[in-house]
Structure 1
Amino acid sequence: MLRTPSKAEMEHASSVPNLTDVSVVSAKQGEIFHKRKRRDSREEMTQELQIFKTEILGMLNSWKEEQAPIIKNIQKDLSEVKAQNVSIIKKYEDLEKSIKFFSAEYDDLKIKVEKLEKERKGNILLIENLESKFEEVQRHIGCKKIEIRNLPEIPNENLMQMGGFQP
Structure 2
Amino acid sequence: MIPKILKLSLVFLLFALIGASCQDEEELPPLEDRQLTVSEIKTQGCKDNLKSNDIERYIELKAEGENQLRVKFVNASLNCCPGEITTNAFIQNDTLRVIFSEETPGRCNCFCDFDLECVIDSMENRSYNIEVYAHSENAKAKFTFNYTPELSSKTIVNN
Same-fold call, TM cutoff 0.5? no
Q: Which has the higher relative contact order, 1 or 2, with Cα contacts under 8 A spaced 6 or more apart?
A: 2
Structure with more helix by fraction: 1
Which structure dedicates a bigger proportion of its chain to strand?
A: 2
TM-score normalised by the chain length of structure 2: 0.24
Structure 1 length normalisation: TM-score? Answer: 0.23
